[in-house]
Structures are given as C-alpha cells and as structure tokens.
Structure 1
Amino acid sequence: MKLGILPLGRPTFDVPFAEENLTAMLAALDASGHEVVGPRELLFDEAATRDGIATLKAADVDQVMILQVTFTDASMTVAIGAAFDQPLSIWSIPEPRLGDRLRLNSFCGLNLASHALGLNNRAFGWLYADPAGDVAGDLAALLAGERMSGKLVLGAVPEATLDGERIARAVNGQRIARIGEHPVGFDTCAYDKAALRGLSGVEVDELQLDDLFDLARAAPAEAAADLRKQADAELTGLDAVDPEELDRSLRLKVGLDTLKEQGGYSAFAIRCWPETFTEYGGAVCGPASMMGEARVPCACEADIYGALTQMVLAAAADAPVFLTDLVDMDVEDNTGVVWHCGQAPLSMIDPEVQAEATIHTNRRQPLLYQFPLKAGGVTLMRISQAHGRPHMVLSYAEMLKRPMSFTGTSGVLRFERGADEVLDDIIASGLEHHMALVYGDHRVALQGAAGAMGLPLLEI
C-alpha cells in the first residue's frame, strides 16, 4: 500500500532524542514493504503539519499514520482525522525511566489524541512500542487494521449509598476558580458550566491570568518570605535556583491564597503554561503542591473536570489528592508511571528520601517539588466526558517502591489488572490525560458517589 506519514513533535522536548527515535521509526516503516510517503522530519507547528497534509493528499495515500514522536496537543491530530477518509493510525513510543527529564512524553500525546478523536467519532488504530525493538509484527497488525481503538461500553449507574451521598453533598455548592482558558488542542480540559452545575452543584468563576499575576506581583514581601521559610524547611537545594524566579513563583501561592479568601473557592483550575513562564516568570507547580497539601486542589491546564475530580476524591478519602498524567506503560514489567511536573502533595513523598527544589524541565524556571511517591495502595479516579458521555472512571493500583522515573514528582504503579489490559482500556475509553490519585482503597465510597451523582461507572 501507499502509507502516508506525519511525524509530530514539539521543540520544547528533547529534539535530538526525538530525531533519533524518528529515524528508528522510519527504518521500521521502510522495512515493512509498503511505499512510505510524506515528511521525514519532525513537524513542529500547524503550518508545517498542514503542508504535510497537502503532500499526502496529493499523493493519494491508502492510509495515514501519525508518528507521535513527542507530546503534542490534539489540534493537529483532529485536523488530520478530518482531512482524510482513509484509515488513520497513531504510533506512540515509550522512553527509558532513568530519573532524568521526561524527554518525549509521547504517551501523553496519544492519550490526548484518543480523547479528541473519540469526541469526533473518528476511528483510529494505535501502537505504543519502542521503534528500536522488534516491532515488525505489531506494525503489520496495525496496518492491517487489527489494532483499532474500539469503544468501551459503560457500566450502569451504581446504587447510591449514604457515604456516596455524603461525598456528593460535600462538593455541592462549592466554587472553582478557572484562571485562564485551557490551551488549544486540550479537548480533555473543555467543559460546560451549566452541565457541570447540573452534575455536581459546583459553580465556576472564570478569571483571567492577570487576576492572579497582579495579586502575585502585589503580594507583601513578608508573605513571600514566610513561604520561602516553609519551602526551606521542606526542600533541599533551594539556594541553587534563581532567587528572583523563586520569589515570583512563591508569590503565585500568595495570589492563590488571596483569591481563595476573596472568592470562597474550594479549588482552582489554572492555565499553567506557557504564560506563567513567558509572561509572569515563575512556575506555579510548587505553589500547586503547597495548595494540594492544604486540601485546596489545583488542576493544571485549566482542567475544570480535573478540579472537580480532585474535590470528589478528596471528599471520599479526607486526604490530599494528586492530579497526575499517566506517562508510561511497560507491559513486560507490568507497571505504569504517573507523573506531573513537580506538584504532588508533600505528604505523598517516599519517607526515605528528601524532597528537592528543582526547575521545570522544559521552561527552566522554579519552583517545582521533586521526589518519588511513597509505596502503598492508591485509588485513581476521573469524572470523564470521554465520547461525550459523563461518567466516572475508577481504578486501583499498588504504588511500588522504585527509584524516581522522571524528574519532578512521579511514581511507578502496578494495576490490579495487567498493564496491557489497562493500556487497551485507556485508549478505548478515550480517557482524559489527567486522573486524580489518592492513597488508600476508596472504591466502595466512590461507587456510591457515582450513584449519588447519576454517573455510569467504568472500572479499568
């Protein structure tokens, strides 16, 4: 057949490593026996991708394959899906768990893509495999249409319980501050205020990033100094980061505290990048960790349903909650890795390590917390809008005592079911890229909460 390829990437990730992996992907495709047409270099922006689409259209290809070499948002994936009637597939790649930066974050790109394509009812096949390994058989199956994403059937709405009704009442009437709009291509973070209110009784106030930035800049020096003392007590290496950027980062925490007091907010959903770095000059990740530890959830990328998920999970567990990405699945090791830049609540730290101060791996600014997550059972949950159907996704896993996989805050977990089955379900369900995590087994309480909120249940 004539196979059209579109290699997607972002320059904020490790471009030389991405190009090394792209070379291996192209070699595997060239060895497949099919005619491979299209760009053979990373497409970093919309203009380059649209030029690639035009090239494939002119070549009249039989199939289209997106090479998800690094993380990207889903905007171009949706455009590619809409541009072609031919079969569509995505090849995403793992990366070594070496304790260094997350160099590609390719799986998260696949995760966003599966959600967005599901919302658009666009069928696709997928593969998550190392191009340097033996991938010939999997590629052949993918191109033969044998690795389609499918679509999971939701379970029934569970029976409401007294504990579930307590959880639903706990969030009803609460307020979330959305600070800035979600980034383009993050369909996982879209929401409708009226639908959210009808589901949970939670109200959303839509604020601007400058509302936070102005409060942070005007924060009293004493308040920022007090937070510096708190960070000094919690972290090593604070003196190694840029002091002015650190001060700006800590002032974001003061700004969030002020907004909380003024607006009576129980949670925040913040457009954390790029503007906190490019316009303000400091990361909100460390402040989000502090807020989370204080039981005030902060969701990245203005993810309102992520904030609601945290609120529900915190009400069920009466404990701090971590909104995280699933960034890797290793079928042979039967494990996955949860990670987010550096914002897990400090109480989740492995007790045998010391938390470190660090900088954002892509944007190079502080403050981020860095530590591996402690061992123990964890409940993962998401109030999902995948495939346009509100429901609750629920899972349970054991966090293992493992070295830090990637810089920031991360942990290695083993699900109750096999990693291959969980991986299949994540893609088939169109699950959003953020799930909330808390220690302990809270599935029974959450099943009752799903019933009280009228949500069908999907356990993965």
Structure 2
Amino acid sequence: MKSLQVAFLPIVRSTFDVPFAEQMIDDARQSLVKAGFSLLEASQPIQNLDAAQQVARDFSSLNPDLVVVFQATFADSTMIVEIAQAIDAPIFLWAVPEPWTGGRLRLNSLCGINLAGHALTLRRIPYAYAYASPQDVQTVQKIFDLAQASSLSRRLKAARFGVIGEHPPGMDSCHLDESKLKEVLGVQIERIPLEDVFARARAIPQSTIEQTQTLLSAQLDNLDTLPQVSLKGTLSVYNALKEIVIERKLDGLAVRCWPEFFTEMGCAACGAMSMLSDGFGQISPIPCSCEADINGTITQFILQTLSDAPAFGTDMVGVEQETDQVALWHCGLAPMTMANPKVRAQGGLHSNRGLPLVMDFPLKPGEVTFARLSQATGTLRLVLGKGEMLGLPKPFSGTSGIMRLNLPAQRFLDLLMSEGLEHHISLVYGDYINALETFAELVAIPTLIMDRR
C-alpha cells in the first residue's frame, strides 16, 4: 500500500500552558513520522475559528487518508466541527493525559475531545479517539489501522472488476449483487462474455505463447512433460486475460472456469488465474477467483491491498476436530509465491478433467488471515479469522495446504454450517484482523469473527 497521508492538526488555546502543549505536539509529531506517515500540516497550531476555517479550505482538496486532531489543550468544538465538515476523511481525536499535581490544570485535553465527540455525534459525523501519551504505541497503531482502512475504502471506490461469464448453476455463493457492491463499497463491475475471452485467446500469436512458456519454465520445470496443446491453451488464456485487464483497466477478475474452458478451449483456466494473481509477467498482481465468484475476488483485492502481497481464494474441504486443522484446496490457482519453498512447484493436470495447466504445490507455512465478503444473510458481512499454515505435505493434488485454526475446529465447522457461509474463503499471509475490523467499521459492514471469542 502507498505511504499513508495524515493531516496532523493540533489545537491550542493560549489561555492554557502553551509551552507544555507545544512539547506534546512535537512528541506526537515525532511518533507519527517515526511510524512512516506522510504528514500534512498547517503552518502553526489552530488557535481560533478563523484559523480552523482557513485550514478547512486549504486541506479540503488534499485528500488525506485520515485527519488527526491533536487536542493539545481544551477548546470549544467549533474548530473541530469546521474541520470535520470540510475534509472528506475519517476523524481521529487525540487527547493527552497530564499529571494530577494539585495545582493548575495545564491542558484539560480530555475535556476538549469529550466536547468535540459530542458535537460530532450530534452531526452524525463518526470518529475514533485516543486518550494517551504522544509516545503511545497502541495509539499510533490505531491511527495506522484507520488510515489504512480509509485508503483501502478509496481504492475500492475507484476499483473496476471484470466478471467473465455467469457463475455455474447451483453455485449460489458466487452470486453477483452488483447494486449492493456499488452501494456499500463503491466498486464498478464490468461483465465480459466468455466468448470474447475465447476469441482473444485463439488469436494470441504462437511466439507470445512460446515466450510465456519459456518464462514459466523457470518456475515450473516439468512443463515439457504435460500435454502441449492444452498447456499452450492455458498460456493463451493467460495472455488474453492479461490483455483484457490492461485494456479495460481492471483490478481483478472473477472467471467462470468450468465447464467451458475445458469443453471449448481444451484446457484449464486455473494456471492462467494463478499467474495473474501472482503478478507473473511483470504486471501487478491481479486477484482472480474461479466460478465467477466476484465477492471472492473483491475479498482477495482487500487482502492484497492491506498486505502488499497476493491473496488466494480456496475451498475448505476437510476438518480434523482432534487437531483443530482444516484442509484447504483449489484445483490449482494459488499464486506461486505461496508455494512452500522446500517443495518444488510443478505444473499439473486438473484433478477431474485431466487437462493442464493447474499449479501443483503445498502452501508454505506461516501465519495467515482468512476472510470472506459474505452475502449469506442477504446483506454484506465480513467474515474474518486467523490460522497457521503448517509445513505439512499437501492433503490433495493441486494447490492445497493444512491450516491450524485459531479456534476449535468443531466451532469453525458449526459456524460455517449454522451461518450458511459461502464455500470459498480468501487468505493472505500475516495478521490483518485489526485492519479488517477497522475497515468494516469504517464502511459500516457487520463482521463475524471466527476465533475463540
């Protein structure tokens, strides 16, 4: 994700201890700079309504990811209201404690954000807050999570996703509710007929296909052993999809991968989607879901944006209650960067159709976050959880792995079935639960957390 821009706007009243307040401001500024934020600042702290109005005018066109109002001293709420109404970004109110000395109340910072919070609530303006020292690590993390969530929300509002074909019959979990996605997330959907992809794939020059195969052979050393006509079919599909993404400026694809790719093109689409999701061929990673699962693609986009790494959409195909483990599997579309480096990745045949190209490797070990933008309740909800991919042999052919859950496996299974959740989840390496919860709260999506709580 790009460097996060934070508008850092301190408020000071001259009737309080200004030198002490200025020290608090400097300390908070240093904490934010040290954390890597790009700060947007006024020339001096805001001291009156006129100054607040000028800042509001100056900053309204700068589009910060977050506005941090640092309440260095008490002030009435007029200045914060002016800023919050003018700048299109989430508001974070930060007050600082001061020693209880029995003497002068030097800052009265807490009362300032209390007053501000009431004024914003009356105007239905949401905000987050902290009452903590300028060096407080948890506060800086809260600021990071909220700024990151805001940046992600903006990226989604500008994002365009392609849906190729319709989801297969009976795959209701892949249903596209375009109006709801637009209303809640702001994403744009472009429908693309399967026939357009097939025609473009058939027109890819043989020289381009051979060049792609040469590059891919550096990562998969068994391509020459696979049926070559079908292999080249997958590689032509990869190039066709890549062209469509570039021409239409798409940020992700949801592809009806069966049965037509097998029956019309004589190949599997899985390998092509793996390559795109991985950023193969010097393009940015383009998240792809099979079965035209657009909510899966958007979930992968969210995870990819937060982590700066490719994400993977997978089925849950087995649960072992005794060890709290879940078997994850998909035919072969996981990004190759998720392969266990101790096991050589291979090109493979689709497990049901016997055609290439699918990827074949176990998922690498490490902490993972899984998520799903679910519509099981008829409204959008973000399902979240954590686990650990284990460095074990893959449970099935294709791209698969074994995840140890962060909750009892029976509880996971009960939630999966009692909530009627979709059969796909998306995962990425790392812990992004707090960031996802913050994002869901920002865009007003309910969450279901699958953990020990």
TM-score normalised by the chain length of structure 2:
0.66
Shift of 1:332: 1.6
SS in 2 for 1:205: strand
Question: Is 1:447 paired with 2:416?
Answer: no
Matches of 2:435 and 2:127, distance apart in 1: 11
- Structure 1 residues 296-315: aligned runs within 5 Å: 296-315=286-305
Q: Does 1:398 align with 2:398?
A: no
Tell me the CA shift for residue 158 of structure 1.
Answer: 11
| Unaligned residue ranges in structure 2 (runs of 5+) | 1-125, 129-144, 280-284
**What CA deviation, in whole Å up to 9, does each residue of 1:311-352 have, x standing for no partner?**
111111111000111111010222001111111111111111
Mapped partners of 2:208, 2:390: distance in 1: 37
Map residues 35-434 of structure 1 onto 2, 5 A cutoff. Answer: 161-294=146-279, 295-434=285-424
Q: Specify the SS of the correspondent of 1:455.
A: coil
Contact kept? 1:158, 1:451, Cα under 8 Å? no
Say if 1:158 and 1:450, in contact at 8 Å, map to a contact too: no
Displacement of 1:162 in angstroms is: 2.0
Give, in whole Å, the separation in 1 of the partners of 2:146 and 2:177. 27
Higher relative contact order (CA 8 A, sep 6+): 1
Output the amino acid matched with 1:433. H
Give the ranges of 4+ consecutive aligned residues of structure 1 lying more than 3 Å apart after TM superposition.
157-160
How many correspondences in the alignment?
A: 304
Q: SS of the residue aligned with 2:343?
A: coil
Q: Which runs of 5+ in 1 are unaligned?
A: 1-156
**Is the 2:330–2:400 contact (alpha carbons within 8 Å) kept by the matching residues of 1?**
yes
Contact 1:165–1:448 (8 Å) recurs in 2: no
Secondary structure of residue in 1 paired with 2:236? helix
How far residue 195 of structure 1 moved from its aligned partner, in angstroms, is 1.1
Q: Is the 8 A contact 1:249 1:366 kept in 2?
A: yes
Residues of 2 paired with 1:450 and 1:222: CA distance?
A: 46
Deviation, 1:164, is 1.2
For residue 436 of structure 2, give the secondary structure of its aligned residue in structure 1. helix
**Cα shift at 1:225:** 1.1
Match of residue 96 from structure 2: none
The whole-number CA distance in structure 2 between the counterparts of 1:375 and 1:305 is 26
Q: Structure 2 CA distance, aligned partners of 1:393 and 1:443?
A: 10
Distance 2:150 2:227 in 1: 47
CA distance in 2, matches of 1:191, 1:322: 19
Identity %: 39
Superposed CA deviations along residues 433-460 of structure 1, whole A, max 9, x for unmatched, are 1111000001111111111221011101
Distance of 2:297 and 2:378 partners within structure 1: 19
1:387: how far off? 2.1
Larger radius of gyration: 2
- Other structure's SS at 1:302 match: coil
Deviation of 1:280 after TM superposition, in Å, equals: 1.4
What do the CA deviations read for 1:75-123 (whole angstroms, capped 9, x no partner)? Answer: xxxxxxxxxxxxxxxxxxxxxxxxxxxxxxxxxxxxxxxxxxxxxxxxx
CA shift digits 1:144-174 (9 cap, x unpaired): xxxxxxxxxxxxx997822211111122121
AA aligned opposite 1:399: M
Superposed CA offset, 1:361-419 (max 9, x none): 10111001100011100000011001213110000001111011100000101111111
Q: Is the 8 A contact 1:329 1:335 kept in 2?
A: yes
The TM-score with structure 1 as length reference comes to 0.65
**What's the offset of the Cα at 1:186?**
0.7
Match of 1:435 in 2: 425
CA contact (8 A) 1:356 1:371 kept: yes
Change over 3 Å in CA distance of 1:242–1:158 after alignment to 2? farther
Q: Give distance in 1, aligned partners of 2:390 and 2:149.
A: 29
